[in-house]
């Protein structure tokens, strides 16, 4: 730098202070961004941990839901079988045996938290029932149950499939 332009002692100091101030400002900004990112990562971690614990809880309570859902059609079929016993076979001990088996299967599942959803005669509620159609009957009340619905603990495993009354009532 040519002589006449060389800064004096004071000017040099001022320049240095300016440079340092700027560097400090940049570092501060960087530090803030690091802190923010760290906080964000920490928060993500805490949330993830919390959710992980919740999920583990759920998994242990509802681990069986897939299996149960797969078994429900079998329970349905057993019921169908027993509902259509012909009068001739009604008293046969073999049929009685099947009844006992159905009861046992049901009891076994209930011990694991399965419970039936009440539908017939109740007010139609899409939280628990799935409507398959209308028919004669009191309006908004379940007139027929096509397929039973079940809860696993406090959660709907399969909604009841129902026919809902439309308010028409046939004359006697």
Partner 1 sequence: MGKVIGIDLGTTFSEVAVMEAGEPVVIPSAEGGHLIPSVVAMSKTGERLVGQIAKRQAIVNPENTIYSIKRFMGRKWGEPAGRELPVEEDAKRKAYKVTKAPNGDVRVAMGGKEYSPPEISAMILQKLKADAEAYLGEKVTEAVITVPAYFNDSQRQATKDAGKIAGLEVLRIINEPTAASLAYGLDKKKEETIAVYDLGGGTFDISVLELGEGTFQVKSTNGDTHLGGDDFDQRIMDWVCDEYKREQGIDLRQDKMALQRLKEAAEKAKTELSTVQQTDINLPFITADASGPKHLSMTLTRSRLEQLVMDLVEKTLEPCRQALADAEKTSAQIDEVVLVGGQTRMPLVQEKVKQFFGKEPHKGVNPDEVVAIGAAIQGGVLRGDVKDVLLLDVTPLTLGIETLGGVVTPLIPRNTTIPTSKSQVFSTATDSQPSVEIHVLQGERPMAADNRTLGRFMLDGILPAPRGVPQIEVSFDIDANGILSVKAHDKGTGKEQKITITASSGLSKEDVERMQREAQTYSAEDARRREEVELRNTADTLAYTAEKTLRDNKDKIPEDLHKEVEEKVGAVRSVLQGTDIEAVRRASQELSDAMQKVGQAVYQQQPPPGAEPPPGGGDDEGTVEGEFREV
Chain residues binding partner 1 by CB under 8 A are 33-34, 37, 41, 43-44, 47-48, 50-51, 77, 80-81, 84, 86, 124, 126-127, 129-134, 140, 146, 155-156, 159, 161, 164, 166
Q: Measured from the CB of residue 63, what is the shortest distance to partner 1 in angstroms?
A: 13
Q: Which is nearer to partner 1, 8 or 84 (CB)?
A: 84
Q: Measured from the CB of residue 1, what is the shortest distance to partner 1 in angstroms?
A: 37
Q: From CA 145, how far away is CA 131, in angstroms rounded?
A: 10
Q: From CA 128, how far away is CA 119, in angstroms rounded?
A: 8
Q: From CA 102, how far away is CA 77, in angstroms rounded?
A: 10
Helix, strand, or coil here: 158? strand
Q: Measured from the CB of residue 131, what is the shortest distance to partner 1 in angstroms?
A: 4
Q: Measured from the CB of residue 24, what is the shortest distance to partner 1 in angstroms?
A: 20
Q: Which is nearer to partner 1, 2 or 126 (CB)?
A: 126
**Residue that the structure tokens 């009354």 belong to:** 165
Q: From CA 157, how far away is CA 67, in angstroms rounded?
A: 11
């Amino acid at each position: 730098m040519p002589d006449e332009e060389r800064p004096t002692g004071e000017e040099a100091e001022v320049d240095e202070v300016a440079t340092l101030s700027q560097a400090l400002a940049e570092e501060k900004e960087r530090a803030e961004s690091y802190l923010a990112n760290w906080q964000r990562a920490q928060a993500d971690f805490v949330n993830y941990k919390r959710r992980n614990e919740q999920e583990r809880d759920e998994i242990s309570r509802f681990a069986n839901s897939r299996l149960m859902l797969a078994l429900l059609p079998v329970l349905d079929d057993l019921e169908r079988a027993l509902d259509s016993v012909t009068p001739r076979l009604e008293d046969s001990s073999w049929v009685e045996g099947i009844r006992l088996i159905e009861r046992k299967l049901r009891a076994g599942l209930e011990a694991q938290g399965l419970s039936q959803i009440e539908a017939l005669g109740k007010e139609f509620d899409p939280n628990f029932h799935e409507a398959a159609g209308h028919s004669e009957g009191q309006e908004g009340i379940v007139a027929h149950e096509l397929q039973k619905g079940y809860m696993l603990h406090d959660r709907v495993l399969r909604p009841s499939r129902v026919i809902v009354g439309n308010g028409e009532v046939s004359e006697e």
